[in-house]
Amino acid sequence: MSRVFISKTCAALFVILLFSECNTMAQQPPTPNPTAPAPAPTPMPPKDEPDIELNTVLMESTFMIQGPSARIPGQPTLGTVFLIGRPVPGSNYSRIVLVTAAHVLEEIQGDTAILNLRKKTDEKTNSWVRSPIPLKIRANGQPLWKKHPEADVAVMYIEIPNDTMMKQAVSSDLLADDKMLTEFEVKPGDELRSLGFPLGVVSNDAGFPVLRSGRIASYPLLPTDKTKTFLLDFRIFKGNSGGPVYFVERYRPILRQLGGFMSYHFIVGLVSEEILLQEQSGGQYSQEIHLTQLGLAKVVHASLIKQAIEMLPAPTASLP
């Protein structure tokens, strides 16, 4: 009896030890196969860039300009301008450059226009009021601005009162050239944004511009020296001319990089004109011209704005 009991006990212990060993082996991670390909890395989430918020900065840098019309006596004319900073070499300063469509300034009669600036009255409540100033655009009838020889772009240095200074100026380095458009893969169908004053409408009593958006509606975009302009699918009106057109996209995938993201913001151009379909009808003694809005804007490439700025005297910290 004792021998049978001992035999059965040893057999039971053997089974328990065998089960324990198998269980331990099952819990251990499998040994990696050195010939197997490594798994693809998990894409890192995009990081926030400690950079400017271009929507807000351009809102604070875009203004209405107005004056008596040179085309229609007794009537006012208006347009949109935006201010950017041109860095002064060897310093931390920038000269303020007014940028707009050339026809906006050309259609204002006389030597002086009204630039509708704004100033902040209360930092805590973020309160603003309009602060219009006279702006000299001609001297004895001669333009003070520089016009691009092949595009509807005008630029000029200006000085503005200290109490209307922008908190942060957009640098001229954010004007997109061909290299930037290629590197960031800007293409037809991409959404762009624009600021302006359609028919003189403002977004509030402080005189901030109205933000609109649309998609690039023409091809090819490059080279900009050849194309000079492109079409944007958004409806504009008189007063939008001269407004900045810009690109802002957070976490845009980088096509040739697995799990790559990048946040883009730069100025793509300015609004030049509305595209209209012109149709003519009539009889032997009368003719009528009908204009149909197509909901398209012609935009001048930012590279041409940059070329116009380079026509200005080199910036210095002192007044010219």
Q: What is the pLDDT of residue 318?
A: 60
Mean pLDDT in runs of 10 for the chain (320 residues)? 45 44 46 49 38 87 97 95 93 92 98 96 93 97 97 96 77 94 93 97 97 97 98 96 94 57 84 92 82 94 98 78
Helices and strands in the chain: count of H runs, count of E runs: 6, 16
Q: What is the pLDDT of residue 16?
A: 43
- Rounded Cα–Cα distance for residues 294 and 310 (Å): 34
Please state whether the peptide bond connecting residue 134 to the residue before it is cis, i.e. omega within 30 degrees of 0.
no
Predicted structure pTM score: 0.80
**Domains delineated in the chain:** 54-281+288-309 (2.40.10.120)
Q: What is the CA radius of gyration of the chain?
A: 32
Q: What is the pLDDT of residue 289?
A: 87
> Can you list the positions of beta strands (E) in the chain?
62-68, 76-87, 94-100, 112-122, 127-136, 138-139, 142-143, 146-147, 154-157, 170-171, 191-196, 210-216, 229-233, 244-253, 261-282, 287-301
Strand partners, 69: 108
- Rounded Cα–Cα distance for residues 282 and 71 (Å): 26
